[in-house]
Chain A
């Protein structure tokens, strides 16, 4: 085994100090992704800082139906929490469509945000990957890219973010509350948390090394009656999305007052379709409008050699998810 130190500090403050002091240190909580990465030799930390016992597992109301979900609450507990089931059924649906019950029982919310791409080149030490080894090249761009991005990719990386939960959080205008290395707190819009690969694909997100996610806060909304998460995959369960769509609508007398649309499986980060959102806001909730919105959402797509199907599939998925959310 590659030797590493294992530390279990008393609280968040000590944990942040430990990780910040060592660029090869990693937080570990559920470990459902990090352990895999270590076994494969993709990530090689020399120090693991166990935060699984830090008390950041609360799910609490922020007033209205806003909610704060602790970074260390388990995915399963989050999906099934009454505040989430009642206030954000979209999030429940998204979480439960990911992974398997066993994994969701272990995985934490913060870890879900931090999970890394499942691009097969990233996982295979025998192939080039700029995300794993900057400067080595991108195997997928001109190789096997059926699962790769159609939005926001760069010459150095075409990987997609694998999470389902994050697609819903992007649609729900969540913010991420972070403990900084200096000891303070800062907040980041969820849509600004993950980043596009650009020429630094080794960075998945905009956290600084040592910063720790404390909670994910979701503001009150009125999407409860009209939301839907649609995931399309190669088998019924336990597979990453080819394309997924999170939709939240606020509908008043058949007119869409407020819309959120986010896509998964298409980019290095959960992909908000803001133009399509603006397009349907103020319009009647009907299939024709949704179809137009779906086409609009994919207008800027740039498919690769093997993933052209994602454009049409994503359009259909958006149109269906909107119809389902609106019950039309």
Chain B
């Protein structure tokens, strides 16, 4: 029954629907074989990719696209590495051009990243907002990487973002969900009167419990990369992330007990043969 419940609860982001609520990155794996096995272990249906200059000297080198089954996965191209709205819009259009050529369903959407700072990789909220408006006007479904600031999250949704994706902590930092309260407020603001609006925790996941915590908060999915790619055993961590996601999702649906300051006994308090302390 539990498994059926999960299966019925598909993840819908704009026009895209997936069985798995994990979105997994394709960067930083030791090699393509480990990447393929890790993606399979995670159970994901949707993988992120980056747009970069073709290496003209090494055109014999393996292309990522030779290692990915584009009929199996929906690709989500990102604008990682862009530090201005203008560059992010250019990169989004280039990504769409490649995906359209591959006839991949991911051609109509983008994971928008407009960064402000190389050390923290924190987003530039003003430029992200600007780029969101331009890309929405150009017909993209825009998934916005942002901080966990609820005010910015609300502005991005108002600008037409298909999904707002607050970071748990800085990209690749593995610090997990640093401010669960902000994620809660983001969820409240973004889902107010619109409970199906998809909110994804993107970035910062270090291990399985981070995924579970995110899902227990009520987010719709988790996007991660380094947590699997740089794990000691990436394939095993892929499995762990899949189970962690299911555990967190089920716990959220089941409804947790409230936290109390004092204990409440699980066994009957009457009928004990023992004397009570004063």
Q: Bound pair: A and B? A: no
Binding site for A on B (CB under 8 A): none
